[in-house]
Amino acid sequence: MIKVENAQNIILENIETLEAEKVDLLKALSKVLAEDIHSDINIPPFDNSAMDGFALKSSDTKGASQQNPIILKIIENLPAGKTPKNTIHKGEATRIMTGAPMPLGGDGVIMVEYTESTNNEVKIYKAVSSGKNIRLAGEDVKKKELVLKKGSLITPAKIGMLASVGKEMVKVIRTPKIAILTTGDELVELGEKVTPGKIRNSNTYTLISQITKLGAIPVNIGIACDNIEEIRNKIRSGIQYDMLITSGGISVGDYDLIQDILKEAGLNLKFWKVRVKPGKPILFGLLNNKPVFSLPGYPVSSMIAFELFVRPAILKMLGRKDIFRKTILATLTNSIDKKTDRRQCLMGILKEVKGGYEVSSTLPQEAGMLKSMTLANCLILAPQECAHIHHGTLVKVILLNDKE
Ligand code: AMP
Ligand code: MG
């Protein structure tokens, strides 16, 4: 059995970031940029007014005040989107709207709030300094400037920047399609009757949701009974995707068939079993050079094994740099009796308190009890060595509801 960190290292060594593809701008959100982006223009492209008001010669407004306004002649009305026709001379002003290009001759804009105007004349109640309320060409971005770097995660602001530099199509890391195969004779689908000996399939739905939250594409291969031929066929269809995740049948029971079938299909086994509770029987390997994870069937084991091992793999495929979730130290508010010499990963409830964080483990902590997981907002990583953790101990906590 290998340690959690060793297993994570083996996984990351065997996973490659996917190749780039060109997508429509709006399809690029939350993906990883696969090219450097340089601006094709100055932004803004021309000097323009930052305010609704009057463009003028600042020297004309010297000494203007509420008591002593200066009167200028209005020579033009200039909305955004139009170009100025007239040059501003001494004693003249152009009525200008936010975003309209600065007319020649003007070197400042007075806000409309400090003026009073008729159609022909404007009274200026405040002096304006040269350059006031003008946004200069290229003050945000210069032509040819590197605005976004390859490898960065595309946020709404970056979509806006890509639009500003005219990128209708963007090169991003391709999104992996992840096949999910669920196994177990006891499983029934939603909508089917839960007859004696049967339980509802929940793992497929949990896994689909975990994958979707990462920005990858889940593909449901369905349920296979604990039957060699059925599992073999479904593995064959699942392995066409970028990754295959199987659920159940990976322990040492008589009907735990997954490992043998994967091996017979040519699996290059990297590890089976990790020193962790829950999640121990997890398997990882490559089949046709595609990563395969086999997760234990217990719903909580499946979720935690996904968190610790599959999630980093998918994020690496997506080209993400933030592969591991944020961890913090928190004070344990209950005592924990560890039932194992493995690394225990407990479902926890974390809250922020004055001066730090407090965490308690949810009760109960059984691998089949999904209700505890619905209450948890973190995982407590108990050290491998100790048998008992006293309340008041600082423990390492993985935040589950951190940003994806
Ligand atoms: P296994 O890993 O196949 O031995 O399954 C361990 C336990 O998890 C058994 O009690 C199963 O009934 C349960 N289980 C397996 N697969 C699922 C599933 N897809 N949804 C809910 N529970 C499951
Ligand atoms: Mg089973």
The answer to whether residues 210 and 298 belong to one domain is yes
Question: Which CATH number fits the domain that encloses residue 107?
Answer: 2.170.190.11
Task: Tell me, yes or no, whether 169 and 180 share the same domain.
Answer: no
Is 210 in the same domain as 245? yes
- Protein residue closest via CA to atom 14 of ligand 1: 297
Of 112-121, 133-142, 381-390, which range is least confident?
A: 381-390
* pLDDT band for position 384 (cuts 50, 70, 90): confident
**What residues are in contact with ligand 1 under a 6 Å CB criterion?**
182, 184, 186-187, 199, 201-204, 247-249, 251, 253, 296-299
Alpha helices per DSSP H over 62-117: none
Same-domain pairing of 169 and 179:
no
Per-residue pLDDT reduced to its tens digit, 162-201: 999 999 999 999 999 999 999 999 999 999 999 999 999 9
CA distance 10 to 87: 70
> Is 37 buried (19+), middle (13-18) or exposed (0-12) by CB count in 10 A?
buried
Tens-digit pLDDT profile for residues 239-281: 999 999 999 999 999 989 999 999 999 999 999 999 999 999 9
Q: How far apart are CA 17 and CA 241, in angstroms?
A: 15
Q: Please indicate, yes or no, if residue 355 is contained in any of the structural domains.
A: yes
- Residues 10, 28 within the same domain: no
Which of 221, 256, 298 has most ligand 1 atoms within 8 Å of its beta carbon, as the pocket-test mutant?
298
pLDDT for 3-43, tens place per residue? Answer: 999 999 999 999 999 999 999 999 999 999 999 999 999 99
CATH, residue 335: 2.40.340.10
* Whether residues 26 and 169 fall in one domain: yes
Ligand 1 centroid to residue 248 C-alpha, Å: 6
Return the pLDDT at 403. 55
Inside any domain, residue 374: yes
Q: Is the pLDDT of residue 385 over 80?
A: no
Ligand that comes closest to the CA of residue 203: 1
Distance from the CA of 213 to the center of ligand 1, in angstroms? 23
Give residue 283's domain range.
4-17+175-317
**Domain shared by 312 and 219, yes or no:** yes
**Tally of domains within the chain:** 4
State how far the Cα of 209 lies from the Cα of 216, in Å rounded to an integer. 10
b or e along 243-259 (b: 16 or more beta carbons within 10 Å of the residue's beta carbon)? Answer: bbbbbbbbbeeeebbbb
